């Protein structure tokens, strides 16, 4: 498949894996995926496993990501983790504004935009998540919601920083439900996201920005989703927790 953007497939482990389990998983991924060059492979373990996973993937083709970070650089923010602390473990990517954080931690687009600017300040590449609920989709509001989330969470970002930022389209109704968006549904929203990024920044940023699909991605649906022109990768939850399923998603996408 010819696309001029490199695929990026990231595993979001969420609140799963002890350190020992995380090391087992990443060792298995190295064995299975060691020769893959066509995809940027990213794993996002919980904070507690970053150190050990980081050591495992030195000199490998797997990059490290974090699931969240603070918008502040340091100070009296109990329980928070700053971008600079993540950099100590060679973290390269950070997921921002996942729908679970928007829902359970009440993260707003405004907060996400501050986190995004902090990430850029530390040269971390952000994966900014957007996506509608089932109620919003059924009410015909998908584009309105996604556009609002994009405008809000990308505000204050410069065009130069944006080309290195990744957008993840994750329809909330597809996350952890086993019910993925069809490739046609994903493509439709991805094309809309690219058009909106073009309006907010410029045509060359829109052409370069990578847009991942997330929500019940599995080995069986990865190829079909990745074959669409504006789908540049995947953000994988449940299926990233096992060596076989995450490796097969990547192999099936090439
Ligand atoms: P899922 O989660 O693959 O388990 O649906 C995706 C995500 O939340 O990023």
> What pLDDT tens digit does each residue of the chain (254 aa) get?
457 999 999 999 999 999 999 999 999 999 999 999 999 999 999 999 999 999 999 999 999 999 999 999 999 999 999 999 999 999 999 999 999 999 999 999 999 999 999 999 999 999 999 999 999 999 999 999 999 999 999 999 999 999 889 999 999 999 999 999 999 999 999 999 999 999 999 999 999 999 999 999 999 999 999 999 999 999 999 999 999 999 999 999 99
Q: Atom 1 in ligand 1: which residue has the minimum CA distance?
A: 237
Where does residue 207 fall: left (phi above 0), alpha (psi -120 to 50 degrees), or beta otherwise?
alpha
Whole-angstrom CA distances from 73 to 43, 119, 172, 249 are 23, 10, 30, 36
Give the Cα separation of 119 and 93 in Å (integer).
9
Give the Cα separation of 160 and 212 in Å (integer).
20
Answer CATH for 7-253 from 3.40.190.290, 3.50.40.10, 3.30.70.20, 3.20.20.70: 3.20.20.70
Q: Considering only CA atoms, which of 91, 170, 89, 176 is closest in space to residue 126?
A: 91
User: Is the minimum distance from the CB of 65 to ligand 1 under 6 angstroms?
Assistant: no
Q: Atom 6 in ligand 1: which residue has the minimum CA distance?
A: 237
Residue 164 has a pLDDT of 86
By the 8 A CB rule, do 180 and 217 touch? Answer: yes
Q: Atom 3 in ligand 1: which residue has the minimum CA distance?
A: 237
* Distance, first Cα to last Cα, the chain: 8
User: Is the minimum distance from the CB of 175 to ligand 1 under 6 angstroms?
Assistant: yes
Tell me whether residue 98 is one of the annotated catalytic residues: yes
Give the Cα separation of 220 and 139 in Å (integer).
29
User: Is the minimum distance from the CB of 176 to ligand 1 under 6 angstroms?
Assistant: yes
Residue 1 has a pLDDT of 44
Output the CA torsion sign for 7, 175, 142, 103.
Answer: negative
Q: Which atom of ligand 1 is nearest to the CA of 240?
A: 3
Cα-to-chain-centroid distance, residue 194:
16
Helices of type H across 89-141: 99-104, 109-121, 134-138
Pocket probe mutation, ligand 1, options 10, 133, 216, max atoms within 8 Å of Cβ? 216
Give the Cα separation of 68 and 170 in Å (integer).
16
Q: Which atom of ligand 1 is nearest to the CA of 129?
A: 9
Prediction pTM value: 0.97
By the 8 A CB rule, do 39 and 7 touch? Answer: yes
Residue 49 structure tokens: 């496993």
Whole-angstrom CA distances from 253 to 21, 38, 112, 168, 241 are 26, 9, 30, 17, 18
Residue 163 has a pLDDT of 80
Q: Considering only CA atoms, which of 31, 81, 83, 84 is closest in space to residue 56?
A: 31
Residue 250 structure tokens: 């990547």
Q: Which atom of ligand 1 is nearest to the CA of 178?
A: 5
Give the Å distance between the CA of 167 and the centre of ligand 1.
15
Residue 3 has a pLDDT of 76
Residue 174 structure tokens: 């597809």
Residue 2 has a pLDDT of 54
């Amino acid at each position: 498949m010819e696309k001029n953007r490199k695929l990026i497939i990231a595993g979001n482990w969420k609140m799963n894996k002890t350190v020992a389990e995380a090391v087992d998983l990443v060792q298995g991924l190295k064995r299975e995926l060691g020769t893959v060059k066509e995809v940027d492979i990213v794993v996002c373990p919980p904070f507690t496993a970053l150190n050990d996973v980081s050591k495992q993937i030195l000199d490998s083709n797997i990059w490290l990501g974090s699931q969240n970070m603070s918008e502040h650089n340091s100070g009296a923010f109990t329980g928070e983790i700053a971008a600079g602390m993540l950099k100590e473990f060679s973290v390269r990517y950070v997921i921002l504004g996942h729908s679970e954080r928007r829902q359970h931690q009440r993260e707003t687009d405004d907060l996400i935009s501050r986190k995004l600017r902090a990430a850029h300040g530390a040269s971390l590449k952000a994966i900014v998540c957007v996506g509608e609920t089932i109620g919003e989709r059924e009410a015909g509001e998908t584009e309105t919601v996604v556009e609002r989330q994009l405008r809000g969470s990308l505000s204050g970002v410069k065009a130069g920083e944006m080309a290195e930022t990744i957008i993840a389209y994750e329809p909330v109704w597809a996350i952890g439900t086993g019910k993925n968006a069809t490739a046609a549904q994903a493509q439709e929203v991805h094309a809309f996201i690219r058009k909106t990024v073009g309006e907010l920044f410029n045509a060359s940023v829109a052409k370069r920005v990578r847009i991942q699909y997330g929500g019940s991605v599995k080995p069986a649906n990865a190829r079909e989703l990745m074959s669409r022109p504006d789908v540049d990768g995947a953000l994988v939850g449940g299926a990233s927790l096992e060596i076989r399923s995450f490796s097969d998603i990547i192999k099936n996408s090439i």
